[in-house]
Structure 1
């Protein structure tokens, strides 16, 4: 069973899904969220009370009042993806790193493209801060959502590229 919520913030709607174990999905796009929901084959219900910690912390983040999340997560990922997500969660608020930096951190120095793939498939953007990853040359790089959303997330944290 998934518990769903939606909040409206500066960048638009943020969709949230959790299980009894923790946060499963955060989406910054309506269509992507609905496609994910169709593909997961689970039962679901809209229930803000089950998602209150995520709603509260995400709201505070977007208002600039929260720098670090403290939420139970229920990530379904490969070992490699989990190592990348763990490394991403160690990138401090207001800082950026390169795909190469993350590859080095997970002891796969030549795997920066694989890191990019894992970052792109991150099911918990903002919580697992994939927006903090940029190209080695200092350019903004890609993002699973609109690149302008990545810029806005970085601006919230005081990063201007």
Structure 2
């Protein structure tokens, strides 16, 4: 007997912080599984779904995605400091441990990659934590932007350092250095 086909619902979110370029949000019945960055196309979402959920059907459904879009909109409007959405994290056990630890960083606070590595019980895995952070499939909701490099420097952010700075400032974080390197300095 064949397995029923998985449906991945999606919708687009637009905000001036991203020059009104879309973020594509996708969710399964279990929860939110992907948010793209504004420089990523819909094709990038399709490729991710094809890799992580082989055989799944993508279905545009604003009603199904409404709770996710609403909470993201509330965050950008300054009315939400914590997300209460179900998540469907698709990654290795190590990656998902890093992503879960990210959700524990409170709004308006930051951690270093070293602190994040220690929080998951792998203090020597700083670079691996940085790599997992960069592979986070649900940015903003799983707040990878709250992780800074040594000396509070902005570092390695798949969405771009300008977006990382925008998100931190939205949360009232000003205690960081914009002098970090785009890729490393964990």
Give the TM-score taking structure 2 as reference length: 0.82
Name the counterpart of 2:46: 37
Name the counterpart of 1:104: 118
Choose from 3, 7, 13 the match for 1:7.
13
For the 8 Å contact 1:15–1:33, the answer to whether it is kept is yes
Give the TM-score taking structure 1 as reference length: 0.95
Distance 2:112 2:89 in 1: 23
Matches within 5 A, 1:42-121: 42-121=56-135
Name the counterpart of 2:158: 144
Which stretches of structure 1, 4 residues or longer, exceed 4 Å deviation after superposition? none
Distance 1:104 1:30 in 2: 32
The structure number with the bigger radius of gyration is 2
The alpha carbon displacement at 1:124 in A equals 0.3
Question: C-alpha deviations, 1:97-150, integer Å up to 9, x for none?
Answer: 000000000111111100000000000000100000001211111101121000
Distance 2:99 2:48 in 1: 22
Unaligned runs of 5+ in 2: 1-6, 51-55, 177-186
For the 8 Å contact 1:97–1:132, the answer to whether it is kept is yes
Question: C-alpha deviations, 1:53-77, integer Å up to 9, x for none?
Answer: 1000000001111000000111111
Distance 1:121 1:70 in 2: 22
Distance 1:136 1:104, change over 3 A: same
- How many residue pairs align between the two structures? 161
CA RMSD in angstroms comes to 1.3
SS in 1 for 2:159: coil
Distance 2:39 2:57 in 1: 18
The alpha carbon displacement at 1:40 in A equals 2.5
For the 8 Å contact 1:10–1:62, the answer to whether it is kept is no
